[in-house]
Structure 1
Amino acid sequence: MRIGMIGCGNISAQYLATFPSLPDVELVAVADLDAARAEAVAAEHEGVRALGVDDLIADPEVDTVLNLTIPAAHAEVDRQAIAAGKNVYAEKPFAVETADGAAVLEAAHAAGVLVGSAPDTVLGTGTQTARAAIDEGLIGSPIAATATMLTPGHERWHPNPDFYYVPGGGPLLDMGPYYIHALVTLLGPVDAVIGAASRTRAERTIGSGPREGEVIPVSTDTHVSGILVHSSGVLSTLVMSFDAVATSIHPIEIHGTAGTLAVPDPNRFDGDVEVHRLGGEGWESVPVSAGYVESSRGIGLQDMAERGEALRASGALGRHALEVMNAMLESSRTGSRVEVASTCERPAAVPLTEVRVTV
């Protein structure tokens, strides 16, 4: 599968490091609104051409467009690529508005092309080992889950953090996809949500880089919490914050009738899975048993190349997660439970797979 990458910002480095180790994926072209950035990437990677955005989308050598643009541009770039007959794989979030996410899938269906969606961290050994433990009945029947991400905010380290604090950003749409993709992978799709949100500061101060000390406005909620009602009946409690300092609890915990499972950070591909059994004396390690071994960002493209329409990091999952997040924000505004119209298949499990990605 020949990849044309649009967007050469911070996240692109992780994809670039992964590509050489993916047997069915080849990067052939890059583009960026800043042409110099694209040219710099092309100069460092043999056989990769720097093109304009429109030229890359039209290029017959490109099969699949990897969309690493800012969130507000995801849906527009996806639709342009689909109209040109390309498969698309978009960074998270899948789009900003729920309707735009649905429109991308509709266009892809009509065009007969594939759509993938980050994050593909859920394909690694961390989340997949946890999923295997649940499916094997290690904790009995799942009852509830907690998913927690607390940080003081990305402006402390990111040199251009503006997009984190406008609609399409915030802790929910920025970090929520990792946790919601993981929860759907572990527990299945979501039927309804109840949410609440707050915004503690109207401004943020950039803490590093050439703009250090510059003050930027905040126009989106920066602390969001709520309940996800899964189709299975499991209730997940989600807390996403750019306001809090730290937490000592596991990133995700799945509580069942026979025990509790600790799931590692879904922003990582690996990590330790632990179980606390009913009647047990403490946490026990769960051996690695599933997932792509030593994987990194871009493994979703390899999965897409191998599996076609059965890809696991799918646009349907990305669109469902987007609607769940926007429903939480709507619930926080209205104070009412919000039904989630979309659904998706629980992605197929990943057996222990030795596609080793060198980073």
Structure 2
Amino acid sequence: MTRQFKVGLIGCGRISDIYLKNCQRFPLLDVVACAALDIEEAKAKAEKYQIPSAVTTQEIFENDEIECVLNLTIPAAHSEISLTALHAGKHVYSEKPFVTDLTDGQKILDLATEKSLLVGNAPDTFLGGRWQTCRELIDQGVIGKPTGVTAFVGTHGVERHHPNPDFYYKIGGGPLLDLGPYYLTAMVFLLGPIKSVSGMARRTFDQRMIENGPRYGEMMDVEVDTHVLSNLEFQSGEIGTMTMSFDVWDSEAPRFEIYGEEGTICIPDPDPVHGANIFGGEVWFRTKNNSRWTHQPRPTGRENWLIAENNSGFNDDCRGLGLLDLAHSVRTGAPHRANGVLAIHICEVMEGILKSAETGSNEIMKTSCERPLPMSNLSSNQYGATQ
């Protein structure tokens, strides 16, 4: 039996619940300690998820039993925590974004290489069944050679459901940095690294009102652009567009589409069963043989879409799957997919989009990465996960 991978959690905010819940599903992972600035918060999480100890951050770093730090701190603290963990000889897996400064990101990668340690980073949604199914369709040539991609997420922000949404509208926040990593990472998984980007952006409101919880009615200042458009050129030749917005009340646009010489793959808006989770859900496709453009008069509605068979597993909210993949890599030497090189590339892409929006320039990427390998139909059982 494979020895359990001992993890220390730093950061016990809202996002930690789904991680801790899923870590209990993955027998390879064993969270042995948790830490937070508020020790009472850490104690509450330890009690809720039967974690052996609630400790200080420094005690996480000094604990020789812990092999990996799960870094769920606020974005501004990500690089400091990750660097300290690496100096302590521990692997690191962080929530997005990887870093808020590309220089810090390179320091993390260099230190990890020096110490022969692995660095992983969210989002890991591309490891889920929905995106693995898309990759399988592409690799099987169902839509022919890919030619383009588009992504669209239009919401009206987070102030209707998040009790403390301020940081989403401060420097380091905004729809591109919050939502973009999910779709850009999926694009790189499906099509490979990005060569160049350009962008346009606007800030629609200078203030926004919190619409839930005890702070209902309180106004927040908006420091970032909240409607961001981007053009993307991939190293392999495809081109794409992406819109990430906190200024859209509603839309019928699909979340994600991939275009090929012989067909189209479509990711519709998350269905009621899967909710906001994008690990799972239907994958639609059409080829030149059943395209609406081949019929006159053209049929309306969605009846011509085919639904791809999804045999990949991990279709529920499997946040933490990237940590599991890192642990599996440490134990077996298998490829680590949600890795730091991919993460810093995504960070540079987003930085380039925002810089282009400000200057009107076309930004050429200096970073690159390997196109992550598919999961090769690894099921939950093969990873030792329980449903």
Given candidates 282, 285, 302, the residue that maps to 2:307 is: 285
Given candidates 164, 168, 193, the residue that maps to 2:168 is: 164
Alignment of 1:161-310 (within 5 A): 161-263=165-267, 268-280=278-290, 281=292, 282-290=304-312, 292=314, 294=316, 296-308=318-330, 310=335
Residue 139 of structure 1 aligns to which amino acid in structure 2? Answer: I
Following superposition, the deviation at residue 249 of structure 1 comes to 2.1
Following superposition, the deviation at residue 83 of structure 1 comes to 1.1
Following superposition, the deviation at residue 144 of structure 1 comes to 0.7
Q: In structure 1, how many angstroms separate the alpha carbons of the residues matched to 2:386 and 2:164?
A: 28
Q: In structure 2, how many angstroms separate the alpha carbons of the residues matched to 1:358 and 1:210?
A: 38
Whether the 8 Å contact between 1:295 and 1:355 is mirrored in structure 2 is no
Identity fraction in percent: 43
Q: In structure 2, how many angstroms separate the alpha carbons of the residues matched to 1:70 and 1:185?
A: 26
- The 1:358–1:167 alpha-carbon spacing in structure 2 relative to 1, beyond 3 Å, is farther
Q: In structure 2, how many angstroms separate the alpha carbons of the residues matched to 1:47 and 1:298?
A: 16
Consecutive unaligned residues in structure 2, runs of 5 or more = 271-275, 293-303
Q: TM-score, normalised by structure 2?
A: 0.89
Q: How many residues align structurally?
A: 359
Alignment of 1:10-159 (within 5 A): 10-159=14-163
Instruction: Check if 1:332 corresponds to 2:347.
Output: no
Residue 165 of structure 1 aligns to which amino acid in structure 2? Answer: Y
Aligned position for 1:319: 344
Q: In structure 1, how many angstroms separate the alpha carbons of the residues matched to 2:153 and 2:19?
A: 24
Whether the 8 Å contact between 2:18 and 2:319 is mirrored in structure 1 is yes
CA offsets per residue over residues 258-315 of structure 1, 9 Å max, x none? 0110135595211101101113152111111435454611111111111236211111
Residue 346 of structure 2 aligns to which amino acid in structure 1? Answer: A
Whether the 8 Å contact between 1:145 and 1:255 is mirrored in structure 2 is yes
Structure with higher Rg: it is: 2
Following superposition, the deviation at residue 23 of structure 1 comes to 2.1
Q: In structure 1, how many angstroms separate the alpha carbons of the residues matched to 2:208 and 2:141?
A: 46
Whether the 8 Å contact between 1:148 and 1:238 is mirrored in structure 2 is yes
Q: Which segment is superposed worse, 263-272 or 65-74? A: 263-272
Following superposition, the deviation at residue 324 of structure 1 comes to 0.4
Following superposition, the deviation at residue 47 of structure 1 comes to 4.2
Residue 209 of structure 2 aligns to which amino acid in structure 1? Answer: T
Q: In structure 2, how many angstroms separate the alpha carbons of the residues matched to 1:41 and 1:295?
A: 20
Whether the 8 Å contact between 2:34 and 2:51 is mirrored in structure 1 is no
Q: In structure 2, how many angstroms separate the alpha carbons of the residues matched to 1:267 and 1:176?
A: 15
Q: In structure 2, how many angstroms separate the alpha carbons of the residues matched to 1:94 and 1:333?
A: 23
Q: In structure 2, how many angstroms separate the alpha carbons of the residues matched to 1:66 and 1:256?
A: 38
Q: Which segment is superposed worse, 136-145 or 90-99? A: 90-99
Aligned position for 1:4: 8
Q: In structure 2, how many angstroms separate the alpha carbons of the residues matched to 1:258 and 1:291?
A: 27
Q: Which segment is superposed worse, 47-56 or 34-43? A: 47-56
Segments of 4+ in structure 1 off by > 4 A? 264-267, 356-359
Whether the 8 Å contact between 1:263 and 1:272 is mirrored in structure 2 is yes
Q: Secondary structure in 2 aligned to 1:182?
A: helix
Q: In structure 2, how many angstroms separate the alpha carbons of the residues matched to 1:347 and 1:133?
A: 16
Q: In structure 1, how many angstroms separate the alpha carbons of the residues matched to 2:101 and 2:53?
A: 32
Q: In structure 2, how many angstroms separate the alpha carbons of the residues matched to 1:38 and 1:193?
A: 41
CA offsets per residue over residues 18-72 of structure 1, 9 Å max, x none? 0111121111111111111101011123342111112212221211111111111
Q: In structure 2, how many angstroms separate the alpha carbons of the residues matched to 1:236 and 1:185?
A: 14
Consecutive unaligned residues in structure 1, runs of 5 or more = none
CA offsets per residue over residues 235-258 of structure 1, 9 Å max, x none? 110100011112212211001110
Q: Secondary structure in 2 aligned to 1:89?
A: strand
Whether the 8 Å contact between 2:176 and 2:228 is mirrored in structure 1 is yes
Q: Secondary structure in 2 aligned to 1:324?
A: helix
Q: In structure 1, how many angstroms separate the alpha carbons of the residues matched to 2:323 and 2:245?
A: 30
Whether the 8 Å contact between 1:5 and 1:66 is mirrored in structure 2 is yes
Residue 354 of structure 1 aligns to which amino acid in structure 2? Answer: S
